[in-house]
Amino acid sequence: MCGIIGIVGKEDVAERLVDGLRRMEYRGYDSAGVCTVSGGELIRRRAPGKLSNLVLELARNPASGTTGIAHTRWATHGAPTAANAHPHATEHLALVHNGIIENFRPLRAELSARGRKFESDTDTEVVAHLVSEQVEAGKSPQDAVRAVLPQLRGAFALAIAFRAYPDMLIGARLGSPLVVGYGEGETYLGSDALALAPLTQQIAYLDEGDWVVITREGAQIFDKDDQPVSREITTSGASAAAIEKGIFRHFMQKEIFEQPTVVAQTLRSYIRQVDQSVALPQFEFDLSGITRITIVACGTSYYAGLVAKYWFEHFARLPVDIDVASEFRYRDPVLERGGLALFISQSGETADTLAALKHCKAAGQTIAVVVNVPTSSMAREADLLLPTHAGPEIGVASTKAFTCQLAVLAALAAYLAVKRGRMSRAEECDLVAQLLETPAQLNAALAHDDEIAAMAHLIAPARDVLYLGRGQDYPLALEGALKLKEISYIHAEGYAAGEMKHGPIALIDEAVPVIVLAPSGPLFEKTVSNMQEVRARGGKIVLICDA
Ligand code: GLU
């Protein structure tokens, strides 16, 4: 994930572009760059590494101009060097890109055969040359872009500045998000509303395949068939304050501590206090005919879905298929009539999940989405929108969004169980009472912060860590292992506790900490037996359990 920002402004833009990049720093990146248009010139500055390197570069070599684009790169093609940093430029234009141009190889070969010289190893640079060729052939920037977009396969959000057109930018999106921001006599492009938060709250979300020409006066949007369209301008709730760290050391810590508040906030939309019943935000939505659920998601959201599979099957007695989106979309899944396809994504923009959603929609499934951004592409495609109210999640690793997803999925499982006559009124009231207790329980868990920090010091030197769980704690073990890998770069695996004896037990010795998730309940004793097996081999056990 990385960021794009573009401004057609009234005053010099370089500083504001860099400020916008700073707001997207949380997405992770390896280089950054800006390009402004001024006096018939493209002024380009790029630097590998931290944004502060670009700031230094701009201090040494300022870039004037009231129109410009900027980018933080998360390298997919080519090393994170200055030469591969965006913007990529030709004599006529400069361009930034998020995503991957999947067919860049044949395009590059054709361009090279026509004598074009490449400066980088990126997939992106082919787009700069393709559009440039059209401009050199005498086309307007609009016609040039229009001619090139159909040649590109893959996922992209693009922002393009033209040397001879200092008061205009062109943007395009397919698979990667891009928004238009409307200011006072200024217009913006950005990867998300958050990036534009200090500049404007007036945001239009581009649809898949849209492209847009922005000028100081506003934006002209075209759909994938090049027809002029209007996209609704909404007032974004993204406030600059939501992306401050406050008293916390980093965003992930802040977001972990927000869980009790945001889970309570989320549950409020799914529980009717008056009669202690579960309800959907779209009150009238009829799910009674559903015969099967297909869950599709990626990463942490996938693990939330895997937990929910246990709940849907146990409470609602509905058969559930679940898959990671990048696999689902390339196999040939059997989708029967009457199926509910459920997609889970924090951003609502995850490219593989969105593609899987479209596949299921075309196959006549009822589409439900659990997303944290109600204006996202997935939300707009859904029949049933099930929002989480986690607030902006800035940390790269999902935390509070995951627990809010679980809250929504638990409520949905109960709702389906009630509608299918599988849950009595008394059981519903009992489950609602338990759900309403979760914020307090989250608070109680967070009160162990110091002990957990001490334990982290014991685990930190390990090279490998195992997470074990049974039943619904098995997906939680997988999620724990994913989080450890992503955040601490320690190799970790999650296992179903009962699978230990079929191989992984060979790995256990004093050097391998084993984190066991075993709440009291019917599976507790079985999991404790697996703990004994670990102990017998000298493994260090960290037990996560209720009192
Ligand atoms: N694929 C492009 C590159 O590697 C863009 C990556 C990005 O989204 O930052 O430069």
Tokens of 22: 């700073």
Ligand 1 centroid to 158 CA: how many Å?
11
pLDDT score recorded for residue 247: 86
Mean pLDDT for the stretch of residues 11-26? 90
| pLDDT classification of 243: cutoffs 50, 70, 90 | low
CA distance 437 to 459: 31
Asked whether this chain's domains 251-445 and 449-544 adopt the same fold, the reply is: yes
Ligand 1 site: residues with CB under 6 angstroms? 2, 73-78, 97-100, 122-124
Q: What architecture is domain 3-243?
A: 4-Layer Sandwich (3.60)
State pTM to two decimals: 0.82
Ligand 1 centroid to 120 CA: how many Å?
12
Beta pairing class for 292-297 and 179-182: unpaired
pLDDT score recorded for residue 268: 95
Q: Which range, of 50-54, 284-288, 293-297, 397-401, averages the lowest pLDDT?
A: 284-288
Of all protein residues, the one whose alpha carbon is nearest to atom 7 of ligand 1 is 98
Average per-residue pLDDT in the chain? 94
Atom of ligand 1 nearest to the CA of 124: 2
CA distance 470 to 36: 56
Using one digit for the tens of pLDDT, what is the confidence trace for 343-400? 999 999 898 999 999 999 999 999 999 999 988 889 999 999 999 999 988 888 999 9
pLDDT over threshold 90, residue 166 = yes
pLDDT score recorded for residue 242: 65
| pLDDT classification of 272: cutoffs 50, 70, 90 | very high
Atom of ligand 1 nearest to the CA of 73: 9
pLDDT over threshold 80, residue 124 = yes
Long-range Cβ contact pairs of 476-484 (< 8 A, separation 24 or more): 476/303, 476/307, 476/517, 477/515, 477/517, 478/303, 478/306, 479/300, 479/303, 479/304, 479/402, 480/515, 480/517, 482/299, 482/300, 482/303, 483/300, 483/397
Of all protein residues, the one whose alpha carbon is nearest to atom 9 of ligand 1 is 73
Contacts of 8 (CB under 8 A, 6+ apart): 66, 67, 167, 168, 169, 186, 187, 188, 214, 215, 216
Ligand 1 centroid to 354 CA: how many Å?
20
Using one digit for the tens of pLDDT, what is the confidence trace for 445-493? 999 999 999 999 989 999 999 999 999 999 999 999 999 999 999 999 9
Tokens of 125: 């640079």
pLDDT score recorded for residue 395: 84
Contacts of 452 (CB under 8 A, 6+ apart): none
Ligand 1 centroid to 54 CA: how many Å?
17
Atom of ligand 1 nearest to the CA of 75: 4
Could you tell me the residue ranges of all domains in the chain?
3-243, 251-445, 449-544
Using one digit for the tens of pLDDT, what is the confidence trace for 50-90? 999 999 999 999 999 999 999 999 999 999 999 999 999 99
CA distances to 155, 356, 357 from 362, rounded to whole Å, are 20, 10, 9
| pLDDT classification of 24: cutoffs 50, 70, 90 | confident
**Which value, in Å, is the radius of gyration of the alpha carbons in the chain?**
25
> What does the buried/exposed string (b/e) look like for 294-313 if buried means 16 or more CB atoms within 10 Å of the residue's CB?
bbbbbbbbbbbbbbbbbbbe
Ligand 1 centroid to 3 CA: how many Å?
10
Q: Which CATH superfamily is domain 251-445 in?
A: Glucose-6-phosphate isomerase like protein; domain 1 (3.40.50.10490)
Of all protein residues, the one whose alpha carbon is nearest to atom 8 of ligand 1 is 98
- Give residue 533's identity as a one-letter amino acid code: E
Ligand 1 centroid to 128 CA: how many Å?
13
Assigned CATH topology for domain 449-544:
Rossmann fold (3.40.50)
| pLDDT classification of 262: cutoffs 50, 70, 90 | very high
Element at 357 (helix H, strand E): helix 351-362
- Give residue 509's identity as a one-letter amino acid code: D
Ligand 1 centroid to 95 CA: how many Å?
12
Atom of ligand 1 nearest to the CA of 97: 5
CA distance 48 to 423: 58
Higher pLDDT, 12 or 238: 12
Atom of ligand 1 nearest to the CA of 176: 8
Atom of ligand 1 nearest to the CA of 71: 9
Ligand 1 centroid to 172 CA: how many Å?
15
CA distance 282 to 374: 13
Tokens of 437: 């207790």
pLDDT score recorded for residue 125: 98
